[in-house]
């Protein structure tokens, strides 16, 4: 298998995805000393890009072999999780009009169960059965929209959305729809899951020092080659992507995900329609929240919670985060600028 990953030492521009976390020491050289020399792999996956930065590696590490393993792992995840691939396990499950148990790959059952846990925690603000609404609004595999769908189209899609209509079974791994028209979309958790899988791959191969990024979702472990911690920045939530809002020092293993409404959207009659759909109403979330960054032990959790808090907005989202000890930073629109709100645990990661 030929690898799509090639060594690279500079960051390239982001595409359509919501890139809200940047490599700080590359993006802001005035604020950082020159980083130690890194071994870097990059490539394409899930309609976006990935970068794997390595600090100290075990003697004899074969970078070409490691790159192939990473690409192989990501390709396997896409073959299971993608809504854009018609032959993926998710797409096949979505096409089935049945309430019978459907056997699926164990990784899919496990991720769906994890997603259901987040749905219960957020009372449906995160919901992977949102697929009919994502498609109706043109933010899924179907062509992009330039105007909102008709109200009856939204109502029809909304009637098929409810995480409680989906069940999981562990042995053998299977999913069940209690309504045959249920469909799932894992785009708000799959990139985080992929980051976690690549982290596990690296650790299994003895690599302890790495910083992984897929479409803006991050996971760190260890440090730079010289022992200095990984340092990243959170992008200011505007479409220019030109400035850094906050600098984070990752001096312990952690995962980070950011969700924002300022990159993937369309405007119609002067109104902004974001890709962040509220699965409870059927409409794009409309709050003063521009972006939210979540820090967690694993990236799938951070990814899903960032989406949920974006749906809930700054007031409800902050209450949920504080009540459940979620480490989060909220950027809230305030006239022409932004104000910050954060939970108690976030201060620990901010660079001094």
Ranges assigned E (strand) in 59-205? 102-103, 166-169, 174-177
Q: Helix (H, G, I), strand (E, B), or coil: what is residue 320?
A: helix
Domain 85-177 part of CATH 1.10.3980.10: yes
Report the pLDDT value the prediction gives residue 21, as an integer from 0 to 100. Answer: 45
C-alpha closest to that of 37 among 27, 25, 51, 49: 25
C-alpha closest to that of 190 among 81, 105, 44, 49: 81
Question: d(Cα 162, Cα 250) in Å, to the nearest integer?
Answer: 37
Report the pLDDT value the prediction gives residue 188, as an integer from 0 to 100. Answer: 96
Residues in the chain: 352
| pTM as predicted | 0.89
**Hey, where are the domains in the chain?**
85-177
Residue pLDDT tens, the chain, 352 long = 444 443 332 222 333 333 344 433 333 333 444 455 679 999 999 999 999 999 999 999 999 999 999 999 999 999 999 999 999 999 999 999 999 999 999 999 999 999 999 999 999 999 999 999 999 989 888 777 788 999 999 999 999 999 999 999 999 999 999 999 999 999 999 999 999 999 999 999 999 999 999 999 999 999 999 999 999 998 887 755 567 888 999 999 999 999 986 667 677 777 777 889 999 999 998 888 989 999 999 999 999 999 999 999 999 999 999 999 999 999 998 887 889 999 999 999 998 6
Question: d(Cα 229, Cα 277) in Å, to the nearest integer?
Answer: 36
Report the pLDDT value the prediction gives residue 36, as an integer from 0 to 100. Answer: 53
Question: d(Cα 183, Cα 165) in Å, to the nearest integer?
Answer: 10
Report the pLDDT value the prediction gives residue 37, as an integer from 0 to 100. Answer: 60
Report the pLDDT value the prediction gives residue 27, as an integer from 0 to 100. Answer: 36
Report the pLDDT value the prediction gives residue 141, as an integer from 0 to 100. Answer: 85
In the block, tokens 């979702």 appear at: 217
Report the pLDDT value the prediction gives residue 22, as an integer from 0 to 100. Answer: 40
In the block, tokens 């075990």 appear at: 58
């Amino acid at each position: 298998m030929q690898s799509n990953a090639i060594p690279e030492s500079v960051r390239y521009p982001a595409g359509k995805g919501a890139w809200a976390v940047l490599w700080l020491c590359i993006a802001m050289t005035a604020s950082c000393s020159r980083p130690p020399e890194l071994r870097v792999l990059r490539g394409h996956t899930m309609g976006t890009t990935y970068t794997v930065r390595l600090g100290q590696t075990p003697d004899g590490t074969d970078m070409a072999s490691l790159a192939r393993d990473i690409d192989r792992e990501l390709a396997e995840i896409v073959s299971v999780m993608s809504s854009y691939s018609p032959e993926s396990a998710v797409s096949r499950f979505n096409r089935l009009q049945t309430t019978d148990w459907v056997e699926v790959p164990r990784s899919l059952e496990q991720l769906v169960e994890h997603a259901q846990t987040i749905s219960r925690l957020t009372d449906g603000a995160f919901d992977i059965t949102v697929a009919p609404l994502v498609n109706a609004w043109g933010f899924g595999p179907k062509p992009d929209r330039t105007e909102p769908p008709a109200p009856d189209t939204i109502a029809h899609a909304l009637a098929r959305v409810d995480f409680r209509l989906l069940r999981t079974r562990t042995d053998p791994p299977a999913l069940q729809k209690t309504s045959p028209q249920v469909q799932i979309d894992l785009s708000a958790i799959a990139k985080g899951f992929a980051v976690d899988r690549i982290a596990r791959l690296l650790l299994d191969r003895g690599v302890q020092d790495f910083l992984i990024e897929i479409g803006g979702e991050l996971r760190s472990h260890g440090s730079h080659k010289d022992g200095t911690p990984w340092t990243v920045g959170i992008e200011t939530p505007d479409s220019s992507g030109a400035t850094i809002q906050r600098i984070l020092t990752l001096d312990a293993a952690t995962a980070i995900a950011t969700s924002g409404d300022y990159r993937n959207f369309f405007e119609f009659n002067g109104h902004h329609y974001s890709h962040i759909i509220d699965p409870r109403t059927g409409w794009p979330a409309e709050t003063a929240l521009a972006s939210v960054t979540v820090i967690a032990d694993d990236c799938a959790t951070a990814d899903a919670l960032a989406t949920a808090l974006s749906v809930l907005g700054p007031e409800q989202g902050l209450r949920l985060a504080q009540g459940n000890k979620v480490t989060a930073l909220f950027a809230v629109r305030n006239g022409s600028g932004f104000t910050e709100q954060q939970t108690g645990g976030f201060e620990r990661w901010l660079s001094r």
